[in-house]
């Protein structure tokens, strides 16, 4: 048969033809994005593979014994933390965006500073403060006496408290920025029509703010689902902690992978729901305006009320933990425990976080660019796949990466490669999303103009595209840097031998109850984050002005 002959002759070129077809179909950019997403999906493949090894009876045991409790624990925690963050974040954002009061600029800072403190540091500090001889515990005892027990942090209430003060800043940031962009004439019209300020907030602001609130709460919920530090310190069994215990206590990877699959399913459902609800609220995006909102001056009474509320939030979310850290750090300095070894932890942390952030924005760019260039089912699914870092718990990502590197790239094992890969996968969604947002401001005509003027694709990229999105990239870098600096579970598993970072030391010292050693590490972590936060706030301001 001639056809057979033909194919025989063409056989060597077979893979080349597919390759050419691929390049034609998705372009070089698409191919690079494909490669990146494929690597990012390694932990997911690991989970799917391991859970496929789980026998039917294994699944049944999970369904009947573990899942109902875990589901209830995790979901109720997510709902409670979302409520907590909603109250804290929206109220503070509204005061700051709608009233002029003394120290307003300071208040903005106070509301985002909690981002610098990791959840496990919050958990560690508050368990100590709530003890009978801790600051809060002894105050409680002197006020209420023995009759009312000190609140127990090792409970859903305690975990909600910790995760709410650690996470409300995300809601604050997004809602404040939305409020500052929203059209004040709508509110003014409502006021003229005789609505009370509260009714205005309820009937005008809140509906308009829905997308921002939803986006903020989505971030919060994803953090709750993937939090490892606080829940493990407070022994509250969520999916993440349970998966970790399943792997480490029982060496049951299949069971852990099974639980991870359920968690992935939950998180993806949530993400898709969130995207869908946002897509229905597009009207909001067009509601921006150019008129500067004039802030109403707060009356004296209002000033007091505002500061009472903001002061209360910041007291628990920043001031108290900071005082505790500084107090114990001074103790450590007196004891002379801050030696060269300690500064080694600091530089290790900074190096890892900076390298991870840099790598993350480099690999995120093709994925984000591919999506904004040619919006297709393929590119959308890439964006979804790249958010795997948000939905898989850190320990699972670490194990997936570890298995992958040992099997495929074993010469790289032992150095930082495994850790960096895990960190990049974990925080890729942050980098992709903020670059995607920045790229949306780039109209195709600008790019086309560059091409018409004779710039090649690379030159165009370098001279037109990158400068235009540099702000977005810096914000992305900062976001990844902050999270990578705080990252605990993957670092615990994948750090090179003897290579300790600040989170690792906090973890070790906290479990050994050596406060004078945990405190300076935590303080350095906070200080290391501050320049990054400052940079982000400055960039945010610039983007607001530019727009």
Partner 1 sequence: MKRFWQGGLVSLLLTVLLASAATVQAEELIVYSGRKDKFIKPLIEKFTAKTGIKVVLHSAKSTALLNKLRIEGNRTVADLFISNDAGNLQIGSQLDLFQPIKKDIINVIPENLKADDGTWVGLSARARVLVVNNKAKDLDFVKSVFDLADPRLKGRLGITHSSNGSFIAGVTVYELSTSKEKVMDWLKGMKENAGSKLFSKHSKIVKAVATGKKDIGLVNHYYIYRHLAKHPDAPIHILLPDQGKDGMGVAWNVAGIAMSKYTRKKQLAEKLIAYFVSEEGQKLFAGANSEYPTRVGVAAAPEVPAAGSYKVADVPMRALGTNRMKTLDLLDHVGMP
Q: Which one of residues 78, 416, 484, 525 is an interface residue with partner 1 (CB under 8 A)?
A: 416
Return the residue matching tokens 């579970």: 489
Stretch near partner 1 under the rule CB under 8 A, chosen from 263-271, 326-334, 405-413, 526-534 = 405-413
Closest contact distance (angstroms) between CB of 376 and partner 1 is 29
Q: Which is nearer to partner 1, 13 or 466 (by Cβ)?
A: 466
User: For the chain, first and last CA: distance in Å?
Assistant: 67
Q: Compute the chain's Rg from CA coordinates.
A: 25
Residue numbers 212-241 binding partner 1 by CB under 8 A: 235
CA nearest to 263, candidates 222, 212, 215, 233? 222
The angle formed by the CA atoms of residues 228, 230 and 235, to the nearest 5 degrees, is: 90
Q: CA-CA distance, 243 to 262, in Å (whole number)?
A: 11
Written as one string, the DSSP assignment of 106-144 is: HHHHHHHGGGGS-HHHHHHHHHHHTSTTSHHHHHHHHHH
535 touching partner 1, by CB under 8 A: no
Q: Which is nearer to partner 1, 316 or 477 (by Cβ)?
A: 477
Closest contact distance (angstroms) between CB of 241 and partner 1 is 10
516 dihedral zone (left: phi>0; alpha: psi -120 to 50; beta): alpha
Q: Which one of residues 202, 273, 343, 413 is an interface residue with partner 1 (CB under 8 A)?
A: 413
User: How many angstroms from the chain centroid is the CA of residue 64?
Assistant: 32
406 touching partner 1, by CB under 8 A: yes
Q: Which is nearer to partner 1, 307 or 499 (by Cβ)?
A: 499
Residue numbers 478-497 binding partner 1 by CB under 8 A: 492-493, 496-497
Q: Which is nearer to partner 1, 302 or 331 (by Cβ)?
A: 331
Closest contact distance (angstroms) between CB of 372 and partner 1 is 19
Closest contact distance (angstroms) between CB of 442 and partner 1 is 15
Q: Which is nearer to partner 1, 216 or 472 (by Cβ)?
A: 472
Q: Which one of residues 250, 280, 296, 375 is an interface residue with partner 1 (CB under 8 A)?
A: 250
In sequence order, the 6+-apart residues with CB closer than 8 A to the CB of 465 are 369, 439, 442, 447
The answer to whether 41 touches 388, Cβ cutoff 8 Å, is: yes
CA 315, 316, 317, 318 dihedral sign is positive
403 touching partner 1, by CB under 8 A: yes
Written as one string, the DSSP assignment of 138-199 is: HHHHHHHTTSSPPPPSSSHHHHHHHHHHHHHHHHHHHHHHHHHHS-HHHHHHHHHTT--HHH
Residue numbers 456-475 binding partner 1 by CB under 8 A: 466-467, 470, 473-474
Closest contact distance (angstroms) between CB of 454 and partner 1 is 22
283 touching partner 1, by CB under 8 A: no
Stretch near partner 1 under the rule CB under 8 A, chosen from 273-281, 284-292, 403-411, 438-446 = 403-411
Closest contact distance (angstroms) between CB of 244 and partner 1 is 9
508 touching partner 1, by CB under 8 A: yes
In sequence order, the 6+-apart residues with CB closer than 8 A to the CB of 495 are 419, 501, 504
Q: CA-CA distance, 270 to 528, in Å (whole number)?
A: 33
Which tokens in the block code for residue 430?
Answer: 């942050």
Distances (CA, A) of 483 to 352, 356, 370: 11, 10, 25
13 touching partner 1, by CB under 8 A: no
17 touching partner 1, by CB under 8 A: no
Residue numbers 89-128 binding partner 1 by CB under 8 A: 127
Q: How many chain residues touch partner 1 (CB under 8 A)?
A: 49
Residue numbers 45-84 binding partner 1 by CB under 8 A: 65
Binding site for partner 1 (CB under 8 A): 65, 127, 131-132, 152, 154, 235, 245, 247-251, 351-352, 354-355, 358-359, 361-362, 399, 402-403, 406, 410, 413-417, 420, 466-467, 470, 473-474, 477, 492-493, 496-500, 508, 512-514
């Amino acid at each position: 048969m001639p056809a057979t002959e033909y194919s025989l002759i063409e056989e060597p070129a077979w893979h080349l033809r597919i390759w050419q077809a691929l390049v034609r179909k998705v372009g070089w950019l698409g191919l690079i994005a494909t490669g990146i997403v494929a690597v990012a999906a390694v932990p997911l493949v690991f989970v799917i593979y391991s859970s496929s090894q789980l026998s039917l009876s294994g699944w049944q045991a999970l369904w009947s014994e573990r899942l109902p409790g875990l589901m209830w624990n995790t979901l109720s925690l997510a709902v409670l933390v979302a409520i907590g963050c909603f109250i804290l974040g929206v109220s503070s954002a509204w005061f700051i965006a709608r009233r002029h009061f003394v120290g307003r600029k300071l208040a903005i800072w106070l509301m985002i500073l909690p981002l610098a403190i990791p959840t496990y540091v919050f958990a560690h500090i508050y368990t100590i403060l709530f003890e009978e001889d801790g600051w809060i515990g002894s105050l409680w005892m002197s006020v209420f006496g023995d009759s009312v027990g000190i609140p127990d942090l090792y409970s859903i209430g305690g975990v909600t408290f910790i995760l709410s003060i650690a996470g409300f800043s995300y809601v604050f940031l997004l809602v404040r920025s939305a409020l500052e962009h929203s059209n004040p004439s709508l509110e003014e019209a409502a006021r003229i029509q005789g609505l009370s300020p509260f009714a205005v907030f309820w009937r005008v602001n809140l509906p308009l703010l829905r997308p921002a609130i939803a986006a903020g709460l989505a971030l919060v919920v994803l953090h709750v689902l993937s939090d490892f530090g606080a829940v493990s310190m407070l022994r509250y069994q969520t999916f993440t902690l349970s998966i970790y215990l399943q792997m480490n206590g029982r060496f049951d990877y299949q069971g852990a992978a099974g639980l991870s699959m359920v968690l992935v399913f939950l998180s993806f459902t949530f993400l898709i729901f969130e995207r869908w609800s946002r897509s229905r609220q597009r009207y909001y995006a067009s509601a921006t305006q150019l008129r500067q909102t004039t802030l109403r001056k707060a009356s004296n009474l209002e000033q007091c009320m505002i500061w009472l509320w903001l002061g209360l939030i910041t007291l628990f979310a920043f001031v108290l933990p900071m005082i505790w850290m500084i107090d114990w750090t001074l103790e450590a300095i007196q004891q002379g425990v801050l030696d060269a070894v300690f500064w080694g932890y600091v530089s290790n942390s900074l190096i890892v976080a900076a390298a991870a952030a840099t790598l993350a924005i480099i690999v995120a760019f093709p994925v984000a660019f591919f999506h904004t260039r040619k919006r297709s089912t393929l590119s959308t699914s890439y964006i979804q796949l790249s958010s795997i870092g948000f939905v898989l718990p850190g320990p699972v990502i670490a194990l997936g990466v570890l298995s992958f590197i040992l099997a495929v790239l074993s010469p790289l094992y032992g150095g930082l490669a495994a850790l960096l890969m895990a960190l990049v996968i974990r925080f890729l969604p942050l980098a992709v999303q903020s670059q995607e947002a920045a790229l949306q401001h780039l109209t195709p005509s600008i790019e086309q103009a560059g091409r018409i003027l004779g710039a090649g694709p690379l030159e165009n990229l370098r001279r037109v595209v990158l400068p235009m999105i540099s702000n977005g990239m810096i914000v992305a870098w900062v976001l990844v840097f902050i999270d990578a600096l705080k990252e605990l579970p993957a670092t615990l598993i994948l750090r090179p031998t003897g290579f300790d970072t600040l989170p690792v030391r906090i973890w070790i010292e906290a479990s050994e109850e050596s406060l004078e050693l945990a405190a300076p590490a935590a303080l350095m972590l906070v200080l290391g984050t501050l320049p990054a936060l400052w940079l982000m706030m400055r960039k945010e301001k610039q983007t607001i002005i530019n727009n």
